[in-house]
């Protein structure tokens, strides 16, 4: 077994996922209730596409843009399309970066000439904030357990909370971006000076930086933002799962179809102040570091459960293949030859991933199945997609 799927670049690259979202949205032009990219993924201009680049610079120089920027100075994030991690390739298009970008593209005249993989992505200017007016995003996990056929699972994640108060007029990336890597300077300073932040020491801050989904629900109930005590199961988790299914459907054509490959991805989302969920990006090889006792326990169980799933599929297909080889030998002993063309068809079918009853996943496994294309029709999505949305 191999824990990476050849072709996964379409998921993890910031430029290719923009292409995938746009192509996928075309299939739903007349079914916006099924998928609406303007309510799923922040609108993005691909600056390596001449027409989009020119449109972007036209907007950047418009009176309307200048007016919007008076109240919300950060209207766009500038992202490097691939090859950067831990927020290193994400920049605020602020009063410093905007002149530099205009110079790089000669204020749009170099569109189509400068083909660097850069993306200008709409900044969500009304983020949902927590108790110290700090931003957060979600890191949740998706297991593509099989590509032959497609089988995928959802796993809860956690909130990555910024330790800096949010200030929409600030040019400091740390107030706008929630990647935990950006908080390392705070921890170093607190440890060195032996001080606190918001009344919390280093250990308490590390705990605070990672909220559970249940912590978020309790907070939103306490401040009156929601009233449903089962909001996680009735709203947020279904939204995550629906997003996962769409993301797999829009990218899986690039996956290598082989039974012994699988991969777990870390997906990032955020909520705006109206509780709309936005997909931000997908990461392969997500960092799995237990920065506090809860996170260590959380990640340990998640990995154990991941291996239970993968070995269940492995044992299931090996069981079928061994039975097939036995039948092939028995037939050969009777007729004295083997019809390999016939057996190859049966071998290919036996090696496709599906669970045998004796290798059923345990009830306390923390992953939840969201897609299994062994099942024909809309049932493959376990009610996550409406029937009329699953036939594209």
pTM, 2 dp: 0.92
Residue 383's pLDDT is 95
Report the alpha-carbon distance of residue 43 to residue 217 in Å, rounded. 28
| Cα angle: 348, vertex 382, 2; to 5 degrees | 40
DSSP-derived secondary structure letter, 166: P
User: Mean pLDDT of residues grouped by 10 in the chain (392 residues)?
Assistant: 95 93 94 94 95 97 94 93 70 91 96 94 95 94 98 97 87 73 65 72 81 96 98 98 98 96 97 97 91 92 98 98 95 89 93 97 98 96 94 66
Q: How far apart are the first and last CA of the chain?
A: 31
Question: Are 119 and 46 in contact, with CB atoms under 8 Å apart?
Answer: yes
DSSP 11-44: HH-HHHHHHHHHHHHHTTTT-TTT--GGGTS--E
Look at the alpha carbons of 376, 377, 381, 383 in this order and tell me if their dihedral is positive or negative. Answer: negative
Provide the Cα torsion 256, 258, 259, 260; round to 10°.
-80
């Amino acid at each position: 077994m191999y824990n990476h799927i050849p072709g996964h670049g379409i998921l993890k690259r910031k430029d290719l996922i923009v292409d995938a979202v746009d192509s996928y949205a075309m299939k739903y032009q007349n079914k916006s209730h099924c998928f609406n990219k303007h309510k799923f993924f922040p609108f993005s201009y691909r600056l390596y596409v001449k027409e989009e680049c020119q449109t972007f610079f036209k907007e950047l120089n418009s009176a309307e843009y200048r007016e919007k920027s008076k109240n919300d100075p950060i209207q766009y994030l500038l992202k490097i399309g691939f090859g950067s991690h831990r927020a290193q390739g994400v920049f605020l298009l602020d009063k410093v970066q905007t002149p530099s970008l205009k110079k790089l593209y000669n204020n749009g005249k170099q569109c189509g000439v400068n083909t660097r993989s850069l993306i200008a992505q709409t900044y969500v200017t009304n983020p949902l904030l927590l108790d110290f007016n700090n931003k957060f995003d979600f890191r949740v996990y998706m297991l593509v357990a099989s590509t032959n056929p497609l089988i995928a699972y959802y796993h809860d994640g956690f909130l990555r909370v910024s330790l800096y108060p949010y200030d929409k007029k600030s040019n400091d990336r740390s107030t706008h971006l929630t990647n935990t890597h950006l908080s390392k300077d705070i921890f170093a300073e607190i440890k060195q000076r032996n001080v606190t932040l918001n009344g919390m020491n280093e250990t308490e801050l590390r705990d605070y930086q990672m909220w559970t989904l249940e912590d978020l629900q309790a907070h939103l109930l306490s401040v009156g933002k929601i009233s449903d005590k089962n909001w996680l199961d009735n709203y947020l988790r279904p939204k995550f799962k629906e997003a996962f299914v769409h993301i797999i459907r829009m990218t899986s054509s690039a996956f290598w179809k082989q039974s012994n490959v699988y991969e777990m991805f870390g997906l990032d989302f955020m909520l705006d102040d109206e509780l709309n969920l936005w997909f931000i990006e997908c990461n392969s090889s997500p960092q799995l570091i237990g920065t506090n006792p809860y996170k260590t326990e959380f990640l340990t169980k998640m990995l154990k459960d991941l291996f239970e799933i993968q070995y269940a599929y492995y044992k299931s297909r090996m069981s079928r293949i061994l039975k097939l080889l036995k039948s092939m030998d028995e037939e050969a002993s009777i007729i004295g030859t083997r019809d390999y063309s016939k057996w190859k068809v049966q071998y290919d079918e036996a090696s496709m991933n599906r669970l045998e009853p004796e290798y059923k996943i345990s009830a306390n496994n923390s992953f939840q199945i969201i897609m299994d294309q062994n099942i024909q029709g809309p049932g493959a999505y376990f009610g996550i997609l409406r029937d009329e949305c699953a036939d594209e």
